[in-house]
Structure 1
């Protein structure tokens, strides 16, 4: 099943088996040992992909990007915060939105715990969106996040790294995303998600080393990695076969809202009703 561009994390669903085969301990262990060989193959392949990823060429960042941060204007160089490596999460949050994308919020929930470990290993993380800084700050406070989040609304950064799309391109029905042409993206969907990595040398030169989109960001999703070893796996049975079936902002699981196929959360008026007019656009 192909990647769902709007959420980024659609995969080929594995049907849950409510009546699995029950065997003796000896049979269970034999099956587990046999499967272990496949897991080792996967681990070695992942190691090899990592090695090849590190051998990819770099491109020098020639443009001076400036963002709105909590303490004023900051450059891309400033986001390194004294370290040589920078990972950026491109968070879907457009200028006219007040609530962050559910899928990107799902990913952002994984950052807080790893942040001190990365920062003590020469890696900084920053989250970047086009929404105005006060909107980002309010949502960040609501969600209890402590990572650095800046607004790129006044720069070309999102467009240059192919996670935002100009209206004229959307109206033409073709945009460039995940290293290919995506056709007929909803015209209101001006932003999508991704991850980009950068390196800064001792002379202050910045290089773009890697970007990934769609399912390329799944390795950074701690919840999915836990679910993949749970008895029923991801268990995403919804119409879209992705996280929109069940993921909510972590403070909304007890509410009656729903998530549409673009990753936007909607508060329902009453149980079983459609979304409110306030969030219908």
Structure 2
């Protein structure tokens, strides 16, 4: 980081002019996101088999994971067998969601599904202080069928229920998932941004290897967990 890693100082009128120019691009991006959401609402869907997952109370049909709601968002959490600390990205991402009751007004629910055995998954949930509802697909092909097989990546999938029939309506992974949380949205507002090497930043801005500033799973547990070790 340069000793002079500071934005240039200008008068208020010049600052406002440049902010207005940036706002034009921000508004265009907002309108494009609205258009993308409109296209998403027009996607067809795929009928799903009658999967059975494992919940805290035992086996549960996929249709019953909705708990009476018509819409369901599923975060497929990466899982590494035998590891005390699971994926830091998944752990950090899901730690953001502590208040999900607002989805009730939209007839929707948001849950975690992982390949880990349910007892291990629930123990990990407690260790890191996660507030979401967890299910296991360890004994079901569900995870594999929705793009999150054993040893595979994280994902977000969305489903629609019509009676006891469930349909898959949307899927994303990678950076498509980061847009659904608030952490990077806030960090990207900062003058120095994420401070990662791949980002386009002015000369002299602080930049470090990608992921180096991310909280580890153990860090998340230290902040929120009930039995961190």
TM over 0.5: yes
Q: How many residues align?
A: 211
2:139 to 154, 174, 181: 154
- Does the aligned pair in 2 maintain the 1:67–1:150 contact within 8 Å? yes
- Counterpart in the other structure of 1:214: 174
Matched, 1:196 2:157: yes
- Counterpart in the other structure of 1:98: 84
- Counterpart in the other structure of 1:87: 73
Q: Which runs of 5+ in 1 are unaligned?
A: 1-16, 166-189, 256-266, 268-281
Matched, 1:69 2:69: no
- Counterpart in the other structure of 1:26: 13
- Counterpart in the other structure of 2:126: 141
- Does the aligned pair in 2 maintain the 1:65–1:157 contact within 8 Å? yes
- Does the aligned pair in 2 maintain the 1:110–1:220 contact within 8 Å? no
Matched position secondary structure for 1:112: coil
Determine the C-alpha separation between the residues in 2 that align with 1:124 and 1:83.
Answer: 7
Matched position secondary structure for 2:14: helix
1:247 to 203, 210, 214: 214
Matched position secondary structure for 1:252: helix
- Counterpart in the other structure of 1:44: 31
Matched, 1:108 2:94: yes
TM-score by length of 2: 0.85
- Does the aligned pair in 1 maintain the 2:44–2:169 contact within 8 Å? yes
- Does the aligned pair in 2 maintain the 1:98–1:135 contact within 8 Å? no
1:42 Cα offset (Å): 0.3
1:254 Cα offset (Å): 11
- Counterpart in the other structure of 1:271: none
Runs in 1 of length 4+ with deviation above 6 angstroms?
Answer: none
TM-score by length of 1: 0.70
1:124 to 109, 117, 123: 109
Determine the C-alpha separation between the residues in 2 that align with 1:99 and 1:78.
Answer: 29
Matched, 1:59 2:56: no
Determine the C-alpha separation between the residues in 1 that align with 2:5 and 2:93.
Answer: 29
1:28 Cα offset (Å): 0.3
Determine the C-alpha separation between the residues in 2 that align with 1:73 and 1:45.
Answer: 42
- Counterpart in the other structure of 1:168: none
How far does the alpha carbon of each residue in 1:34-85 deviate from its partner, in whole angstroms, 9 at most, with x for none?
A: 1111011000000000000111111111x22111111011111111011000
1:94 Cα offset (Å): 3.3
- Counterpart in the other structure of 2:185: 225
- Does the aligned pair in 1 maintain the 2:121–2:134 contact within 8 Å? yes
Q: Which runs of 5+ in 2 are unaligned?
A: 197-206, 223-228
